[in-house]
Structure 1
Amino acid sequence: MSDNIFSGDIDPEIAELMGMEPQGSSDTTPDFSDLFDEGQISEQTVEVEQVDLNKTTFTPITKFQSDKPLPYFSEASFYKIVLSGEGEDAKRLHSLLSKFLNATDVKDKSLYRQKLIPAYWNVAASIAARIHGHLPEQKKYMFRYGFLIPTIVSKEQREMIARIIPENQTNEPVYYIDEWLKKIAIGAISASATDEVKAKQQNQGQRLTGQIEKARGHKEVQIGLIRSKMIEIESAEKLILAKMNDVMHHPQHERFPQVKLPYEASQRSCLGEIMQTVRRLQAMDKEISLFFRDLETADNQLEELLSKAGKSGNFSAVDSRTLQEEFNTVRQMAKMCVGRQGNHFPILMKQYLKPSIREIGTRENIIAEMTSIEHLDPGVFLRTFKRQTNRIVPYIVLVPCYGDKGICWEPFDRYNRATSRGRIALPMYPKDLRTAVLSAIADLRWQVAKEKAQHYWMEEGLTGHYYQWFIAQKIRGDVKEYFIQDYILWITKESEGTQKLDREVRGIFWRNMPFPQELKEELRKRGYVYNELYKKDINRSISDGY
């Protein structure tokens, strides 16, 4: 076959789609000799990611698109630059893409489409292997958005993509896949857990990242324990002061006004309580001294590990196997977001792309959706470990695929259950962005609750109560998938007073994933069922301090 695979008669519409001139004019498709020259890359370092436990809300989004569009997406050379230096994989992709776009028979087009999918991912894998280097911007954005060839995307859509804000200006853990893999490659974030990856297979940087994460978690746990114990101490001290005020009150004797009365029975009782509280304070003081000793040990260990990391260049030595495994994980995330019957075509095309930038899974749109969901489900990112509650937003990976749902890959890091982030993946081009985000949040909710209940997840807590209802209803299917759909209804319908859930499920959600108090008070006015749930809240608060 000739290198010029576009030779021959081509339908004018196909030629226009490919950005080619009509028959007889010059072919604008780059030659193979121009496409496949190898380039050089260099390394850079990134600091280790840390969780800010003081943040209580997402960063407000004031801009959803850039004022100045990037120039790359309308360049005639975009396709050529993307495939340059990618070897035989790029040649195969180039050939299959041409055949796919030129095919007129439906069966042929379907056949080339299926072959095109793995060919694209092979090129993406080649780019991913060098993601930590200085890649051309065109390669980075092909990897980030699935944007391969400008002429199969409309002019308006190209301008829309060009206005996506490229840099993370929010300081939130939301990453496009090129940013994510770069963090993994440098060691700023530990690789995602899989059944196949064993600890002994990790490179030095990844092992060190795991050790740092574990040490940081231990330190945060000790800080949390000290905070909790100090709250108890301060409460006990206030109690002593209140009791002492009662004890120090001595009214004058009625018959002998020149003298004051001794302690009354209630005051002697206060003295007994004070003595008990003092003994409790002494015990808590010993406990908190031990906590501080453990905190100093944990802090020293963390400092040693961070120093070791600094001397090693922030893990700048990249383990290619780790990076390849993470790329395969991201690809698996994309498959799960799309589902078996979904559109697995990985290349951005105009017929699959929404017309508005607010309908695309950009970083800013995702954060806006997360903010809205957290307002209705205030406890969604709260995690309690050893009586210390922290708000911990998961890592969010934006995958360029046409999936309809987001997924939770990990509820939290296996080395650090106290303060580590979970991991969720979201499709960039879903049919409905809010539904995709909600499905990921519901998945996170389920997995965190399941891990919290451990062996008793079918009996206790959110998962246990829901599972018992699920079994009682004799429903067939995946209980988690039913939970996800019900959670979506909980946030989208029930929060507005529209009753869509089973009565028992509504009670489970109201109890375990409560709306904010002001919304509860509003809903109780909207219907009898919500008013009854509100009354049960009051009864529980009286009986067991709920």
Structure 2
Amino acid sequence: MSDISDLDNLFEDVLKQTVGEEDAPDFSDLFSEDSSQDTSTKPGTTFKKMETVLGEPRPVFTQTYYQDLLTGEGDISKRVHQLLGAFLKATDPQDRSVHRGRLVPGVWDLYRSIAGKVSTRQFPEPKKMLLRFAILLPTAISPEQRKLISQIPDKNTSGEPIFYQDEWLKEVSYGRVTPSATDETKTPSKNQVRQINAQLEKARGRFEAQTQLLQNLTEEIKAHEGSLMDSARRITYHDSLPGHDAIIQPYTEPQRASFSEINSLLRQLSNLNRKLGIAQNEFISIQEQLAVLEEQEGDDSAQATADAKASEEEMNTLRQMAKLCVGRQGNHFPILYKQYYHGSIRDTGTREQVLNTIAEVEYLDPGLFLRTFKQQTNRIVPNIILIPCYGDYGICWEPFERFNRATSRGRLAIPMYPKDLRTAVIAALGDLRWQVAKEKAQHYWMEEGLTGWYYQWFSDNKLKGDVKDQFIQDYILWISKESEGTQKLARETRDIFWRYMPFPQEVRDVLKNRGFVYAELAKKDMNRSMSDGY
């Protein structure tokens, strides 16, 4: 066995022929092993579960809670107080229903009024609790429920874009996020801070995409270098001439084949090195642009004034989100009330509970937040707004922003008081899956990809209703039942989901031993990989 360094001159000649003497990489760069390379999971690639979902109780429900909440709201507060009193005092079910119907629009007017003040310096805690948890009157919920809500952590320690309603309104008010799109035509915003933040969001998206490109190129170069090292090791092994240990045998046929393989690898490394240089130059340019925008943001944030009208209009949009979460036949009462809310912390859509549920779903659907643009795939988590309502299903308000499809986050709305939180979250993610796939296929959405195959199955079976709603229901079964080996979907639907939204490999390996159906799907995967896909 001879040392790899003996072949220094040979590879240097090959390098000069392949990429030119001036571009030839250093031999030690190609073959030295980096012992410091981190092989652990890359940070930020998946949600990290929150271990602490409740903290110490906070003194939020004071004796003056109700008074402090209504103070400063003018005639709206008087009207809500009268309507609430009439609703609570009514004993006849028919009268109670009438007063309930009158109270609902009044409370929404109160929401809108308070939303306009969400960014004021002295924003009382009761007003925040109304926007965040829909608590108008503390005695409308039980002492146990008050204690539970007072233990919910106030701050976002996860760093993920999951917002309570008051936090989201504040972001919109200061222009840090754009208002949610509606069908109504809006006048262009003249808010300088909002414009800078829009540019900053796009720049950050480009920065993240370029970072991912550099990481991909780095991984590709490392893989080629590994193959090059393997080929080098193969040709450095020699058998000795029988009876003469100091004399080696000539290269074998497989070893000679490695010469052309090494030549090809070096040529590919040269091309990758050129792409890496171009990408790094662009990365530096984007980084400089991002630094300038962040500096402008810092300068303007001190002078930034909250846009009360923007937060009021956003409150109207959040009301529409709540209606969609609840549905036509659901409970649209906009106040947390003990007769309607019987859930524990596991059934409450707090930030921590929603994050942990999404983490479980993303594990089963690894491509959930992946978006490909210009042949680069990035993980883009949407903004998630927690709506204090009794809806049973979350929704995807928009898969991405209208004028920034490449890197914008999009928006999901999750109800905080559903019958089953996991189902509500899965529904929102299924809605996101459908809308992203539909936008990707554009006007061919009924013919191509995930939506095309599913629509053909929906049409062939002459099913009634909205195809998206049916998809969401099937996605819920896919994540909650099929991932455990319980067969609930139609055979054709399972085939489509298995191919376009596959479980991680370890889950598929378990499922293929759970029945003939999954074994056949695993066999199809193997046939596709052998035929290089189709």
Corresponding residue number in structure 1 for 2:440: 452
**Which one-letter code corresponds to 1:77 in the other structure?**
T
Q: Say if 2:130 and 2:136, in contact at 8 Å, map to a contact too.
A: yes
Distance 2:60 2:265 in 1: 70
Distance 2:347 2:458 in 1: 34
> How far does the alpha carbon of each residue in 1:280-335 deviate from its partner, in whole angstroms, 9 at most, with x for none?
43333333322222222211211111111111126722223322222222111111
Corresponding residue number in structure 1 for 2:71: 84
Q: How does 1:116-265 map to 2 (within 5 A)?
A: 116-133=103-120, 134-196=122-184, 198=186, 200-201=188-189, 203-244=191-232
Instruction: Point out the more displaced range, 174-183 or 511-520.
Output: 511-520
Corresponding residue number in structure 1 for 2:427: 439
Q: Say if 2:65 and 2:126, in contact at 8 Å, map to a contact too.
A: yes
**Which one-letter code corresponds to 1:84 in the other structure?**
T
Q: Mark the CA change 1:245 to 1:495 in structure 2 (over 3 Å): closer, same or farther.
A: closer
TM-score (norm 2): 0.84
Q: Say if 2:205 and 2:407, in contact at 8 Å, map to a contact too.
A: yes
Corresponding residue number in structure 2 for 1:25: none
Q: Say if 1:225 and 1:386, in contact at 8 Å, map to a contact too.
A: no
Q: Does 1:66 align with 2:55?
A: yes
Q: Mark the CA change 1:235 to 1:165 in structure 2 (over 3 Å): closer, same or farther.
A: closer
TM-superposed CA distance for 1:108, in Å, is 3.4
Q: Say if 1:210 and 1:415, in contact at 8 Å, map to a contact too.
A: no
Q: Mark the CA change 1:243 to 1:434 in structure 2 (over 3 Å): closer, same or farther.
A: closer
Q: Secondary structure at the match of 2:113?
A: helix
> How far does the alpha carbon of each residue in 1:238-266 deviate from its partner, in whole angstroms, 9 at most, with x for none?
44444455566788899x99998887776
Q: Secondary structure at the match of 1:227?
A: helix
Q: Mark the CA change 1:153 to 1:225 in structure 2 (over 3 Å): closer, same or farther.
A: closer
**Which one-letter code corresponds to 1:56 in the other structure?**
T
Q: Say if 2:241 and 2:249, in contact at 8 Å, map to a contact too.
A: yes
TM-superposed CA distance for 1:355, in Å, is 4.4
Corresponding residue number in structure 1 for 2:505: 517
Q: Secondary structure at the match of 2:304?
A: coil
Instruction: Point out the more displaced range, 181-190 or 398-407.
Output: 181-190
Q: Mark the CA change 1:326 to 1:264 in structure 2 (over 3 Å): closer, same or farther.
A: same
Instruction: Point out the more displaced range, 523-532 or 377-386.
Output: 377-386
Distance 2:152 2:256 in 1: 72
Instruction: Point out the more displaced range, 379-388 or 83-92.
Output: 379-388
TM-superposed CA distance for 1:212, in Å, is 0.8
Distance 2:190 2:521 in 1: 50
Q: Say if 1:146 and 1:400, in contact at 8 Å, map to a contact too.
A: yes
Distance 1:281 1:64 in 2: 48
Q: Say if 1:525 and 1:531, in contact at 8 Å, map to a contact too.
A: yes
TM-superposed CA distance for 1:156, in Å, is 2.6
Q: How does 1:120-519 map to 2 (within 5 A)?
A: 120-133=107-120, 134-196=122-184, 198=186, 200-201=188-189, 203-244=191-232, 270-313=258-301, 316-519=304-507
Q: Mark the CA change 1:252 to 1:92 in structure 2 (over 3 Å): closer, same or farther.
A: same
RMSD: 2.9
> How far does the alpha carbon of each residue in 1:112-156 deviate from its partner, in whole angstroms, 9 at most, with x for none?
222211111111111111111221111111221111112322233
**Which one-letter code corresponds to 2:68 in the other structure?**
I
Corresponding residue number in structure 2 for 1:4: none
> What is the aligned residue count?
493
TM-superposed CA distance for 1:459, in Å, is 2.2
TM-score (norm 1): 0.82
Q: Mark the CA change 1:313 to 1:460 in structure 2 (over 3 Å): closer, same or farther.
A: same
Distance 1:99 1:390 in 2: 54
Q: Secondary structure at the match of 2:412?
A: strand
Instruction: Point out the more displaced range, 433-442 or 352-361.
Output: 352-361
Q: Say if 1:376 and 1:516, in contact at 8 Å, map to a contact too.
A: yes
Aligned partner (choices 40, 57, 67) of residue 46 of structure 2: 57
> How far does the alpha carbon of each residue in 1:6-61 deviate from its partner, in whole angstroms, 9 at most, with x for none?
xxxxxxxxxxxxxxxxxxxxxxxxxxxxxxxxxxxxxxxxxxxxxxx832333333
Q: Say if 2:174 and 2:194, in contact at 8 Å, map to a contact too.
A: no
Distance 1:370 1:442 in 2: 11
**Which one-letter code corresponds to 1:97 in the other structure?**
L
**Which one-letter code corresponds to 1:490 in the other structure?**
W
TM-superposed CA distance for 1:178, in Å, is 0.7
Q: Say if 1:408 and 1:423, in contact at 8 Å, map to a contact too.
A: yes
**Which one-letter code corresponds to 2:117 in the other structure?**
R
Distance 1:96 1:441 in 2: 38
TM-superposed CA distance for 1:399, in Å, is 0.7
Distance 1:498 1:246 in 2: 48
Q: Say if 2:212 and 2:376, in contact at 8 Å, map to a contact too.
A: yes
Q: Mark the CA change 1:168 to 1:503 in structure 2 (over 3 Å): closer, same or farther.
A: same
**Which one-letter code corresponds to 1:428 in the other structure?**
M
Q: Say if 2:474 and 2:489, in contact at 8 Å, map to a contact too.
A: yes
TM-superposed CA distance for 1:209, in Å, is 1.3
TM-superposed CA distance for 1:93, in Å, is 1.0
| Ranges in structure 2 where 5+ consecutive residues have no aligned partner | 1-41
TM-superposed CA distance for 1:416, in Å, is 4.5
Q: Say if 1:217 and 1:419, in contact at 8 Å, map to a contact too.
A: yes
